Structure 1
Amino acid sequence: MNLDPNSPPATKPGGSLRMWKDFFRYSNIFGIDIADDCMFTEERIKTFKANQAKPNELIDFAKSFNLKFDIIIDDGVHLLGPTYITLVTLLDFLQPGGIYIIEDIWQEYREAWLDLLQHLSMAWPEAKEKYSTAWIDLRNMTKPWNESQNLLLFYKHDEKIDPTIF
């Protein structure tokens, strides 16, 4: 199995997907992974093979459902480049009122993320009208503390809003 080397030995693929299935009791959960041995289907869970660094694979995945997603949670490779590619590729597949979360962002990437978001807002000016963003630092809220306890959250507005209110 292709497991995270930092995971406990008893960990098997899909643990976080199963947790989200339990949390969102009336939802279908779709996962993406690059490894063949992480593919599985269970009640209300289905995984798909795709590479986070390849936008065309992400687009094919998202288009296969012919719908917009309520929530997208990126718990992928945790590297800045592929995570940013996933964000800019899948953000438009979020339905109005939807939430996009990037989890486990290392503190050392904070400034780089803020720079990327600034670049994104300059390259895509209407993004400020469509989305609100929040950086959430969970380091003081979790035990044990570690450097990856940050979230980046995007909320897609139901309607066009005045971006200057944020």
Structure 2
Amino acid sequence: MTSTLGFAILAVLARGERTGYDLAAAMRTPVGYFWTAGHSQIHAELQKLRAGGLVGFEAEHGPGPQGKKVYHLTPDGLAALRAWVTEPPRARPERDELVLKTYASWLAEPGLLRRLFADQLAMHEERLAHYEREEAAFGGPPPPGDPRFGNYATLWCGLGYERHRVEWCRWVLERLSSAGA
């Protein structure tokens, strides 16, 4: 059974061959906007995918004394990815630490709570501005079937999330301010 991280790796490799280093970079941007994994997780998952016959590699000369592996999707990997893409996602529990902290916020010192939300607001405003610049660079959504359509669609989801988070942080800050907290 392939993990969700495994399918994320397959999705990146479906766009083209990559070294482990290039794969990790692609997993930071744009995949990292919605799915994160560390280099060690990616390496371990690549080995599982290889053992399952879903990815292969070609050894090439590297820039130093070590060779490098260039990974590619196998026909079985492509078939597994195609089947997985249209399956309903598995239910997962929601885990949002800021919302949990908000639930217990009545226990906090008001000034520290305002600082927490002001910092969160600034972080989400910065991320929103970054996403808006990326959206502008697209010049509109690519057509479905173009690999960039997936990039744009996930960016669109991120824009909605960041807009909501900015609005929510502002709302909490307004409540805290009006209550004299």
**TM-score of the aligned structures, taking structure 2 as reference length:** 0.25
The structure with more radius of gyration? 2
Greater relative contact order structure (CA < 8 Å, 6+ sep): 2
Structure ranking higher in strand proportion: 1
Structure ranking higher in helix proportion: 2
